[in-house]
Chain A
Amino acid sequence: MTIADIDSLGNEPLDPDADLPDEAKKIAGRSPTQIALSRLRGDRLAYVNAGIILFLVLCALLAPLITTYWPWGKLSTAGDFTLVDPLAGNLPAVGPPNHGFILAHPLGVTPNTGIDNMAYLLYGLRTDMFIGLVATVLSMIIGIVLGLMAGFSRGIVDRVITFAIDVFLCFPFLIGAISLAPIITSHYQTNESALTKAQIVSLICILVFFGWMGLARLIRGYVITLREREFIQAAQVIGAPTRRILFKELLPNMAGPIIVSLSLTLPAFIAAEAVLSFLGIGITGSPSIGQIIQNATNYYSSYPLYLYAPVLILLVLVVTLNLLGDSVRDAFDPGTRR
């Protein structure tokens, strides 16, 4: 929200008489989501962030097209030994750090293997975004369903779910991830094509496993306050089925917190994916940003661009997603703003 909004709100009572009924009717007719979106529309930072994210998403989605139709030559993730200079400690024979930039490999190539850095980065972005998005959606669904159930059903179900939430919240994420990751992938170690899929599935599972509790607890809290409200009681009195009360009466009232949680979970998951890949327990079969960073750390002094490019992209992605998430939260919940 911007200052202009507050001003306009403050100015409303001073408005001339004739238009007042229309304005009042218009405001009264808007849902909380619509109000939030109108606040968001006035947020210039949100536009900038959304633009950057849209650009990165397009880059990731169009990775096969960009790499195939790159005007100065196909960008390949297959690797080409002729691009490596064995006499320079296997550093690239073209492009940075020892030679000038060339358009055929705009970000240079990897040491040792001669893979095009930009192609690898684009595909890595794709993997990271895919995993982040799927894990976010899945953990949302689990969190919402369990939160609704816990909040609405008093008694044993609530207590069991609350206990589960507490247990999962107490569990240290990294230890859990490091110990769980091999369980799924170890079965597929001797089958290369299945291994790549298994790694992605296992990573998504780990992120969901440790990512649903926050939202579940939030939803439970909202449900507990809402379920005593008149409209819910009215629905119960007229005999609406529980399913209808949960999903048609309660859920729409919680669109705000859900969207806010979504916009903040997504960047957290993308960062977590990179961390896990960096630690060697994430993706190894297909490109990922964490993996590039892991490979590049030894080159921080001799080939800095190799390390900086993926770090910068990851930083931009996570920061813009977070800032956009902040804007969304401000729009839905102006009370948290200072």
Chain B
Amino acid sequence: MRLKKPIVTLSAGLLFALAACGGGGGSPSPTAQSTLKNISTGGAAGQGQNPNAQAPAPPIPGAKSGGTVTVLSALGITTMDPTDSYYLNTSAILSGLVTRSLTQYQYDPKTKQMILVPDLATDLGTHSPDFKTWSFTLRSGIKFENGQPVTPADIKYGIERSFDRSTFTLGAQYSNQYFLHGDTYKGPYKSGNYDGVTIKGMTITIKMAKPFPDMPYWGAFPAMGPIPPGKASDPASYKNHPLATGPYMFKSYTPGQSLTLVKNPYWAANTDPARHQYVNQWNMNFTTDAAKTDQILGSDTGSGKTTLTIDNILAADYQKFSQQDASRLVIGGQPCTFMWYPDNRQITNVDVRRALAYAYPYQAAWAAAGEIQGVTAVPAWNVMPPGVPGRVQYNPLPGHTPGSTDPAKAKALLTKIGKLNYPIKFGYKTDSPESVAVKNVIEQALKTAGFDPQPVASTTANYSTDIVANPKAPVNVRSVGWCSDWPSGATWLPPEFQSTNISTDGFGSNYEAFSNKSVDSQIQKIQLLPLAQQPAAWNALDKQIMTKYFPVVLTSYGGVALMHGSQVQGFNDDTTNGMPTFKDIWVG
């Protein structure tokens, strides 16, 4: 999934976060090291699915109706067409408040994790043993905001739209990748009717081209929801007013800038297992300066009491807020791992890659990038971040504490294998002050550790295409982040470690060019395991890959530090995307 800020667009399923690429050196201060935090590993608790969740959603204790909530952001907003919304902010707002889809997430206050529950479907779908046919039975009595009933044909049309990559360039590509004829069917506007989806009564059946055990997760995207066929959903105008099926509908929307949502009278609580409709109105502004937002939330007066932000607070304000207003500061995880990807075609010696992990200036690089240590940048252990089912924390490099820098060990290791002054070529962005600062830190740290750092200058606009995604770039280390689209190992290990045909397809998201036949076959095997066994199997493979081959240097997990006013209640971190749990918010 994509990060909030629409800077870089990428291939399917991931978000290129601007993982840091370099910063100012020096050794971390003792105070910093002793208090490194580790975010909770609650994801290991269970599968995170509840097919039996019943509508209506259980009421939140003490919740009151009424009030207006203001949402502030500085990052703008892209399209609001459900088919095209793949940035964290647009999909969180649409799924949380406006549009319903086959499945959805519900916040579980006990485990503080998100649980996949049914939405328009009555359960999480039934599948054929080979995961190549999925059936969903739809609830009856669902209506659009204009009173028209939602029919299975509307859902089918929504699915058909999700194939259209030329009209909906930002949307996720899972339909194309997994559904029958996904590579040739171009959506209803070009290819007409799609024969992969069949309707029988209230049941729709989707045929796949290859096994897709994670279909219920893809069903939670706004793109997998009902969209009225024909003129009503003309892509040119539908993005400015998608028809609501959820508890709130668009009242006014200035594209990219502001959005007002009011109650949708045709939403019925007894059809929805997770959403609530406590708040009267939502006023959202996406062009508010970050410093101003922090000021409004910090002073907490007037309408500031019912204001919340979907951006991280500034590092500059973190100390003040965490001391004075800790109860209003929501700190949580985001399903992102930032990595340094050594090019395994060039850096073939596993010990050089291990030495890199010792040498990398984790804390200094976070600071130079303006990250808040332990909050928006958390030391990374497994490849899979906390929140992924089945994750059991392990240390990929015994003898190294994640998040700490040990130049002496790096140097000793390099000396031992006779690779002292090994050249490390990495890209950075000359037009980004943070990137330059991070570059300086990394350069200094690598020098201290016995490497020969050679930064390669690029720009924000060209970095992704010229350096990261270009297999022939003059670098041997690439720096990117990966965020999962749903909490499953299947969105982590296959994209990161499965061999790709680099000459024809590029890296995909295997930026380290890792290629190992045994790992490939294990990935294929796990994908066909029963769902219940998959989480543990993914975690075991994660551990095996990292301890045996050490193909990547894990630099940090993402995290969020969100702030809300004192009257905003029910605000928690949605760990599937690092956004507020919009469905549960009320004013008290």
Contacts of A115 in B (CB 8 A): 24
Chain B 430-473 per-residue mask, 1 if CB under 8 angstroms from chain A, else 0: 11010011001100100000000001111100100000000000
List 11 other contacts, CB 8 Å, given A113-B368, A298-B314, A302-B316: A84-B367, A85-B29, A86-B363, A86-B373, A112-B370, A112-B437, A113-B440, A192-B457, A284-B430, A295-B433, A302-B317
The answer on a CB contact under 8 Å between A81 and B458 is no
The answer on a CB contact under 8 Å between A284 and B316 is no
Contacts of B363 in A (CB 8 A): 81, 86
Instruction: Report the Cα distance A115→B444, complex, angstroms.
Output: 14
- Can you give 23 contacting A-B residue pairs, CB < 8 Å? A79-B437, A79-B440, A81-B27, A81-B441, A82-B26, A82-B28, A87-B373, A87-B374, A88-B319, A89-B315, A89-B317, A112-B315, A113-B368, A115-B24, A190-B459, A195-B430, A195-B457, A284-B431, A285-B430, A298-B291, A298-B314, A298-B316, A301-B320
The answer on a CB contact under 8 Å between A302 and B433 is no
Q: A225 interface residue, CB < 8 Å from B?
A: no
* Interface set, chain A 111-143, CB cutoff 8 A to B: 111-115
Q: A169 interface residue, CB < 8 Å from B?
A: no
Contacts of B504 in A (CB 8 A): none
The answer on a CB contact under 8 Å between A81 and B361 is yes
The answer on a CB contact under 8 Å between B320 and A87 is no
Chain B 402-432 per-residue mask, 1 if CB under 8 angstroms from chain A, else 0: 0000000000000000000000000000110
Q: B254 interface residue, CB < 8 Å from A?
A: no
Q: A93 interface residue, CB < 8 Å from B?
A: yes
Chain B 312-350 per-residue mask, 1 if CB under 8 angstroms from chain A, else 0: 001111111010000000000000000000000000000
* Interface set, chain A 283-337, CB cutoff 8 A to B: 284-285, 291, 295, 297-303
Q: A90 interface residue, CB < 8 Å from B?
A: yes
Instruction: Report the Cα distance A190→B456, complex, angstroms.
Output: 7
Q: A91 interface residue, CB < 8 Å from B?
A: yes
The answer on a CB contact under 8 Å between B24 and A86 is no
Q: B521 interface residue, CB < 8 Å from A?
A: no
Q: B366 interface residue, CB < 8 Å from A?
A: yes
**Interchain CB contact (< 8 A) of B430 among A79, A189, A291, A303:** A189
Give 4 closest A-B pairs by Cβ, nearest first. Answer: A89-B318, A81-B364, A86-B373, A79-B24
Q: A23 interface residue, CB < 8 Å from B?
A: no
Q: B25 interface residue, CB < 8 Å from A?
A: yes
Q: A11 interface residue, CB < 8 Å from B?
A: no
Chain B 546-588 per-residue mask, 1 if CB under 8 angstroms from chain A, else 0: 0000000000000000000000000000000000000000000
Q: A195-B430, A297-B291 are in contact. Are A89 and B316 (CB under 8 A)?
A: yes
Instruction: Report the Cα distance A85→B32, complex, angstroms.
Output: 7
Q: How many residues of A contact B (CB 8 A)?
A: 35
Instruction: Report the Cα distance A297→B462, complex, angstroms.
Output: 28
B456 and chain A: residue at smallest CB distance? A190
B366 and chain A: residue at smallest CB distance? A86
CB distance from A96 to the nearest CB of B (A): 14
Q: A80 interface residue, CB < 8 Å from B?
A: yes
The answer on a CB contact under 8 Å between B367 and A86 is yes
Q: How many residues of B contact A (CB 8 A)?
A: 48
**Interchain CB contact (< 8 A) of A301 among B29, B317, B366, B367:** B317
B561 and chain A: residue at smallest CB distance? A89
**Interchain CB contact (< 8 A) of A112 among B298, B367, B374, B459:** B367
Contacts of B295 in A (CB 8 A): 301
The answer on a CB contact under 8 Å between A111 and B315 is yes
The answer on a CB contact under 8 Å between A89 and B319 is yes
The answer on a CB contact under 8 Å between B433 and A284 is yes
The answer on a CB contact under 8 Å between A113 and B31 is no
**Interchain CB contact (< 8 A) of B368 among A112, A190, A191, A301:** A112
Q: A279 interface residue, CB < 8 Å from B?
A: no
Instruction: Report the Cα distance A91→B315, complex, angstroms.
Output: 8
Instruction: Report the Cα distance A191→B474, complex, angstroms.
Output: 13
Chain B 294-324 per-residue mask, 1 if CB under 8 angstroms from chain A, else 0: 0100100000000000000011111110100
Instruction: Report the Cα distance A282→B363, complex, angstroms.
Output: 30
**Interchain CB contact (< 8 A) of B290 among A82, A191, A298:** A298
Instruction: Report the Cα distance A78→B27, complex, angstroms.
Output: 14
CB distance from B295 to the nearest CB of A (A): 7
The CB with the most chain B CB atoms within 10 A, among A84, A114, A291, is that of: A84
Contacts of A284 in B (CB 8 A): 430-431, 433, 436
Q: B35 interface residue, CB < 8 Å from A?
A: yes
Contacts of A297 in B (CB 8 A): 291
The answer on a CB contact under 8 Å between A80 and B318 is no
**Interchain CB contact (< 8 A) of A190 among B31, B318, B367, B458:** B458
Contacts of A195 in B (CB 8 A): 430, 457
Instruction: Report the Cα distance A74→B437, complex, angstroms.
Output: 20
The answer on a CB contact under 8 Å between A87 and B459 is no
The CB with the most chain A CB atoms within 10 A, among B24, B31, B433, is that of: B24
Contacts of B155 in A (CB 8 A): none
A300 and chain B: residue at smallest CB distance? B291
Contacts of B27 in A (CB 8 A): 81-82
Q: A87-B32, A189-B457, A298-B291 are in contact. Are A113 and B24 (CB under 8 A)?
A: yes
CB distance from B439 to the nearest CB of A (A): 9
CB distance from A78 to the nearest CB of B (A): 7
* Interface set, chain B 364-416, CB cutoff 8 A to A: 364, 366-374
CB distance from A222 to the nearest CB of B (A): 44
Instruction: Report the Cα distance A113→B441, complex, angstroms.
Output: 9
Contacts of B368 in A (CB 8 A): 79, 81, 112-113
The answer on a CB contact under 8 Å between A81 and B26 is yes
The answer on a CB contact under 8 Å between A81 and B373 is no
The CB with the most chain B CB atoms within 10 A, among A84, A89, A190, is that of: A89
B321 and chain A: residue at smallest CB distance? A89
The answer on a CB contact under 8 Å between B32 and A86 is yes
Instruction: Report the Cα distance A112→B314, complex, angstroms.
Output: 12
The answer on a CB contact under 8 Å between B25 and A81 is yes
* Interface set, chain A 58-87, CB cutoff 8 A to B: 78-82, 84-87
Chain B 16-53 per-residue mask, 1 if CB under 8 angstroms from chain A, else 0: 00000001111111011001000000000000000000
Contacts of A298 in B (CB 8 A): 290-291, 314, 316
A84 and chain B: residue at smallest CB distance? B367
The answer on a CB contact under 8 Å between A189 and B25 is no
Instruction: Report the Cα distance A303→B369, complex, angstroms.
Output: 18
A186 and chain B: residue at smallest CB distance? B459
**Interchain CB contact (< 8 A) of A78 among B24, B315, B370, B457:** B24
